[in-house]
Amino acid sequence: RISLTMTFVQIPGSNTDDALKDCKGWLFILPAVSIGNVGQIAIDLLISTAKLKKVGYWYSPYTVSTACNDPLATKQSRVKGRISLSVEVFYCSKRKIVMLQRRAPILKGGAKMFVRNILEWVKAKEFSNVILASSSGAHLTEDSQTKKFWATCTNVEEKILRALQEMKIPIKSPKSQSQGPSKDTQASSNSREFPSPKELLRYGTGTTRDLIQSCHDLSIPMLALLAQVNEGDNTIDGQHMALILSNVIQLIGEKKDPLLTKPIKFRMPFAYKHVYGPEPDRNIYT
């Protein structure tokens, strides 16, 4: 049985020593390792495009140990031998945002403790809201093409809900054992077209359900944004989710920056070219 404790390790340096000293009212964003890895792609794109600074990493006995070389470099010539680990933390003091990126799966039996440790840190730092980038299986609904994205939330601030409603993203209230049945914030006209969040979160969503439940138990305002996808190359879905998240950041942030307040061309990490292999030779189709 896993009994070790997670530890946040801050990178020493003049620019990061006091980076997270006062995070009261900041926004905390993280991905779930879920179907299609859409959340992780979106977080990578936001970190790369907004040029967020790495402030530290989590030593976690609950995740598979991972080390890789500069995964956010946008060109091969810009790879500088910067080692990245399983769970890293980035920040931007101007936008009052902290992002966690996870590049490894959680070990069997460690999901609840991983989530609990992260959220206890979030609670202690007094972040205003948590936003989770995740995904669910497209096969669970009949309208996954017309309603690609949906959201569910617990105790989330009204301004975040308004941001999603302006983008016409359906918002569903989660049904958990502690909360009991609840009404949809924005219900579909036909329940057959859009199953309950409890059903949608059952398959392929990683730690999403544990995060929603734990945020409710700890009274942490939390929004989960999910894309309905299938396994495969979901880079485009990740770009769409990054754009939605950037729009939410624009609408709820105290300070605006053109980099995240308008549709932009995201800075794609160079490493993504190796994820799905080279493009097929188009001559085979002629």
Burial 63-83 (b: 16+ CB within 10 A, else e): beeeeeeebbbbeeeeeeeee
Amino acid 184: pLDDT: 45
Side-chain half-sphere CA neighbours of 279 within 13 A: 4
pLDDT tens for 171-221 read 887 654 333 334 444 433 343 444 566 666 666 788 888 888 899 889 999
If you average pLDDT over every residue of the chain, what do you get?
Answer: 79
First to last CA, the chain: 57
The more confident residue out of 51 and 178 is: 51
Residue 169 has pLDDT above 60, yes or no: yes
Burial 179-192 (b: 16+ CB within 10 A, else e): eeeeebbeebeeee
If you average pLDDT over residues 148-166, what whole number do you get? 85
Percent of the chain with pLDDT over 70: 78
Residue 211 contacts residue 135 (beta carbons within 8 Å): no
- Best CA proximity match to 241, nearest among 253, 223, 255, 257: 223
- Would you place residue 30 in the very low, low, confident or very high pLDDT band (cuts 50, 70, 90)? very high
pTM of the entire predicted model: 0.82
pLDDT tens for 97-139 read 999 999 888 898 898 999 999 999 999 999 999 999 999 888 7
Amino acid 185: pLDDT: 41
Amino acid 40: pLDDT: 93
Burial 92-105 (b: 16+ CB within 10 A, else e): bbebbbbbbbbbbb
Residue 49 has pLDDT above 50, yes or no: yes
List all residues 6 or more positions away from 13 whose beta carbon is below 8 Å from its beta carbon: none
Burial class (CB in 10 A: 0-12, 13-18, 19+), 263: exposed
Q: What phi-psi label fits residue 247: left (phi over 0), alpha (psi between -120 and 50 degrees) or beta?
A: alpha
Amino acid 101: pLDDT: 95
Tokens, residue 22: 């006062």
Helices 111-125 and 208-217: crossing angle in degrees, nearest 10, is 40
Amino acid 173: pLDDT: 74
Cα 244 from chain centroid (whole Å)? 12
Amino acid 146: pLDDT: 56
List all residues 6 or more positions away from 58 whose beta carbon is below 8 Å from its beta carbon: 6, 7, 8, 9, 86, 87, 88, 89, 100, 118
Biggest CA–CA distance in the chain, Å, is 60
The more confident residue out of 101 and 259 is: 101
Alpha-helical (H) ranges within the chain are: 38-50, 111-125, 158-166, 197-200, 208-217, 235-252
- Would you place residue 258 in the very low, low, confident or very high pLDDT band (cuts 50, 70, 90)? very low
- Best CA proximity match to 245, nearest among 226, 269, 221, 218: 226
Cα dihedral value 36, 40, 43, 48, nearest 10:
-100
Highest mean pLDDT among 3-7, 239-243, 278-282: 239-243
